[in-house]
């Protein structure tokens, strides 16, 4: 079984009707990328940058982040999708005191924090930009609910580009800036967002939680936490259609993308990129190659 799956690694994931599907890894650090490389990945679809912040004693500086992102970009040279800081909700920092909130998952988290703490955010953006001189790097913003957020985040990237120009530091001037689709608002506005974003990546972990109003970590209602719920499936369909209508690629980096049972459905819906933890890649590739 193992040998057979490993034998498929050199076969590009092309469906029987000829569509090339991109198989990427979700990673939390550089070592995760090294571990995923033997699976012959097409890149990293989700680099969860928050771990760099959580395993630290201070907000990592531009320089500290640059070193990490550069190494990641060199390893995952075909594509490295760095998600900007996704903290808050259940993820805390030892060196920063968050105000207590009644509903942390509906609270101050992810892009909301980044846009409120602009200087801190720009340290990260400059680090990502500088790493983009060493591989195909993409920037991805988490938890977007409004066009203004996306536009403000993109404007900050532009500011950072100017600053790097002044310093004479290199970066990819055409760096792609995309967003996670993990809130119901972003699904409903996907047709608008598709005009502003360079790519979408569907985060089914949060999207399922927010569409079904089911806490993703609550065992008591785990049965209800189901991304095959037709409400979630329709949302995914709508997002892929909206993205394709504007000619942008739509990926998925939530757990659903690594679920063998979801592969056929997601291919039917037209998903372009599947990003998952390394351990699932061989199995998903097999499903794609075998699909009628
Ligand atoms: C998601 O919400 O589906 C996702 C990929 O992000 P995270 O699991 O890190 O919230
Ligand atoms: Mg999420």
For the Cβ of 206 lying below 6 angstroms from any atom of ligand 1, the answer is yes
Distance (Å, whole) CA 177 – CA 138? 6
CA-based R_g, the chain, Å: 18
Nearest residue by C-alpha to atom 8 in ligand 1: 205
Query: Which one of 84, 180, 210, 236 would you pick to mutate in the ligand 1 pocket, going by the greatest count of ligand atoms within 8 A of its CB?
Result: 180
Query: Which one of 253, 266, 273, 275 would you pick to mutate in the ligand 1 pocket, going by the greatest count of ligand atoms within 8 A of its CB?
Result: 253
Query: Which one of 32, 81, 84, 182 would you pick to mutate in the ligand 1 pocket, going by the greatest count of ligand atoms within 8 A of its CB?
Result: 182
pLDDT value for 77: 85
Report ipTM (2 d.p.).
0.99
Q: What is the pTM of this model?
A: 0.97
Nearest residue by C-alpha to atom 7 in ligand 1: 205
For the Cβ of 203 lying below 6 angstroms from any atom of ligand 1, the answer is yes
> Strand 137-141 and strand 176-181: pairing?
parallel
Q: Of all atoms in ligand 1, which is nearest to the CA of residue 142? A: 6
Distance (Å, whole) CA 53 – CA 50? 5
The answer to whether 138 touches 178, Cβ cutoff 8 Å, is yes
Cα angle 39-82-50, degrees, rounded to a multiple of 5: 105
The answer to whether 203 touches 253, Cβ cutoff 8 Å, is yes
Single out the residue of 187, 189, 206, 60 nearest to residue 127, CA to CA.
60
Query: Which one of 28, 45, 48 would you pick to mutate in the ligand 1 pocket, going by the greatest count of ligand atoms within 8 A of its CB?
Result: 48
pLDDT value for 18: 92
Distance (Å, whole) CA 196 – CA 151? 8
Residues contacting residue 31 through CB under 8 Å, at least 6 positions apart: none
CA 7 to chain centre: 28
Distance 206 CA to ligand 1 centre (A): 6
Q: What are the average pLDDT values for consecutive 10-residue runs of the chain, which has 292 residues?
A: 91 91 98 97 98 97 98 96 95 94 95 98 98 98 98 98 98 98 98 98 98 96 97 98 98 98 97 98 95 77
Would you tell me how many other CB atoms lie within 10 Å of the CB of residue 42?
A: 20
pLDDT value for 117: 98
pLDDT value for 90: 83
Single out the residue of 243, 85, 73 nearest to residue 172, CA to CA.
73
Q: Of all atoms in ligand 1, which is nearest to the CA of residue 182? A: 2
For the Cβ of 254 lying below 6 angstroms from any atom of ligand 1, the answer is yes
pLDDT value for 1: 81
Cα angle 128-144-238, degrees, rounded to a multiple of 5: 115
pLDDT value for 16: 86
pLDDT value for 244: 98
For the Cβ of 253 lying below 6 angstroms from any atom of ligand 1, the answer is yes
For the Cβ of 273 lying below 6 angstroms from any atom of ligand 1, the answer is no
């Amino acid at each position: 079984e193992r040998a057979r799956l490993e034998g498929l690694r050199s076969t590009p994931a092309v469906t029987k009707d000829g569509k090339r599907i991109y198989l990427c890894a979700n990673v939390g650090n550089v070592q995760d990328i090294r571990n995923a490389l033997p699976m012959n990945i097409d890149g990293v679809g989700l680099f969860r940058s928050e771990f760099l912040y959580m395993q630290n004693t201070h907000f990592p500086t531009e320089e500290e982040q640059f070193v990490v992102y550069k190494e990641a970009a060199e390893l995952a040279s075909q594509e490295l999708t760095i998600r900007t800081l996704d903290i808050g909700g259940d993820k805390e920092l030892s060196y920063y005191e968050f105000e207590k909130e009644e509903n942390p998952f509906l609270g101050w988290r992810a892009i909301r924090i980044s846009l409120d703490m602009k200087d801190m955010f720009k340290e990260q953006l400059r680090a990502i930009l500088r790493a983009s001189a060493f591989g195909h790097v993409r920037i991805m913003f988490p938890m977007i609910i409004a066009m203004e957020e996306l536009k403000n985040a993109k404007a900050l990237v532009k500011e950072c580009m100017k600053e790097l120009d002044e310093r004479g530091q290199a970066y990819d001037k055409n760096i792609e800036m995309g967003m996670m689709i993990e809130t119901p608002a972003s699904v409903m506005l996907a047709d608008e967002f598709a005009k502003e974003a360079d790519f979408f990546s569907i985060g089914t972990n949060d999207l399922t939680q927010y569409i079904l109003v089911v806490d993703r970590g609550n065992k008591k209602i785990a049965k209800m936490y189901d991304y095959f719920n037709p409400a979630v499936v329709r949302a995914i369909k709508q997002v892929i259609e909206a993205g394709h209508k504007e000619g942008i690629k739509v990926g998925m980096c939530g757990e659903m993308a690594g679920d063998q049972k979801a592969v056929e459905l997601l291919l039917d819906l037209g998903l372009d990129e599947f990003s998952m933890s390394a351990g699932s890649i061989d199995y998903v590739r097999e499903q794609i190659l075998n699909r009628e």
